[in-house]
Chains A and B, each alone.
Chain A
């Protein structure tokens, strides 16, 4: 193996993928739970609670239902977590980390981001539980609804950045970040606001946050796809979802507001941006109830889709 391959592997397994994303994700989850408790005037769990939960799950017994397809049931959490580790390795942190070009570009990242949703669907249908099946169908519906807007948002950024740098389309995330470092963030560019809003709409649906936590509604369908999971596989599922939070927030930061100082301070700025986003998300989660699946699908097919097309039109108009 060449050093480049080894280095790529390290970015996927240790920093910023794998270990780092997992620890950051768990810490953000702790902040989120605490923030929600405070918003509801409760004391809330300690900040390290998600770490305790994960350790506990790793020591519990694994139950596999008779009706489940055992191989798919156990393989799916591993696949989901692995895809998220790779995706986290592809997120640039301005001034601190540039992902290896071996891992691929924005298109690959887009596909990787949809793998956890596919994992949840497979998990739900492989578990052989009716609640899992309902979770599966809801997850499928909401994925179909938000996949369009997010694709439009990513394409708008790629086209816009391409137009500004004189290429047809710029799919390299590192270069998008570098351009914004030199010429100012897209966050402050009104031409990009529709795309930004579309991305912001996509975050709660993808992370399963109220009002769009419909596939995993624990008070209606007992956490849907996760209903039959227990012990370490459930732990892997939780690890997947916290890493996904880091990937989705990190991608948003890289696309729209990556600016930060060089060196370790850049990493710190990145973490602070994640924290701000998580606090905003907690506010949303504490403030609203859950939508019905048909309302959520209609919502995504209407407003974010419309915003996405507006963003695309603006990006094309820039040529």
Chain B
């Protein structure tokens, strides 16, 4: 059984939530999947379309007031065990949008954040390192 659980931990599927990001972080996320130089698929990852297929959720953006309820709803749809990675400075501090009237963040007021990848936007290498950390955490939880 131990062998089986070890094997199962090698397949973390990723899901992106855009919580009102400026799209900078999302473009960097796309580079980790689409550009030959940075390939997350070699870690066994796969970007999936549906939140119900996901294991690791990547959140970008400062959590705007408009999108808050939707983000929380989508987050609840991800089956346990899951790991949350906040991409960019926005989810943690609000980044360039800090103190705006339209911002409900920081995101950890509503969701448990396990890993943060700082940067505005962070480099793809940093994002992949964050995902690798998240995989370690996920392996402990699964």
Contact = CB atoms under 8 A, between A and B. Distances in A.
B86 to A, nearest CB: 23
A63 B79 contact: yes
B17 to A, nearest CB: 13
Contacts of A219: 49
B4 A55 contact: yes
A37 B11 CA distance: 17
Interface in B1-17: 4-5, 7-13
B73 interface: no
Interface size class, chain B = 20 to 34
A236 to B, nearest CB: 14
Given A42-B39, A229-B52, A59 B8 contact: yes
A221 B50 CA distance: 9
Interface stretch (A44-52, A72-80, A190-198): A44-52
A53 B11 contact: yes
Interface in A131-147: none
Nearest to A40: B36
B138 to A, nearest CB: 10
Interface stretch (B40-48, B108-116, B117-125): B40-48
Given A45-B44, A218-B49, A52 B36 contact: no
A61 B49 contact: no
Contacts of A229: 50, 52-53
Contacts of B129: none
A258 to B, nearest CB: 35
Contacts of B10: 46, 49, 52, 56
Given A43-B42, A52-B7, A229-B50, 18 more contacts: A37-B41, A42-B41, A43-B39, A44-B39, A44-B41, A51-B7, A56-B11, A59-B8, A61-B79, A62-B79, A63-B79, A218-B48, A219-B49, A222-B50, A226-B53, A230-B52, A231-B79, A234-B53
Ranked nearest first, the 6 interchain pairs of A and B with the lowest CB-CB distance are: A218-B49, A222-B49, A230-B52, A41-B36, A42-B39, A56-B11
Interface of A: 33, 37, 40-46, 49, 51-53, 55-56, 58-63, 218-219, 221-223, 226-231, 234
7 contacts: A41-B36, A49-B11, A53-B11, A56-B12, A56-B142, A222-B49, A222-B50
Interface of B: 4-5, 7-13, 36, 39, 41-42, 44, 46, 48-50, 52-53, 55, 77, 79-80, 142
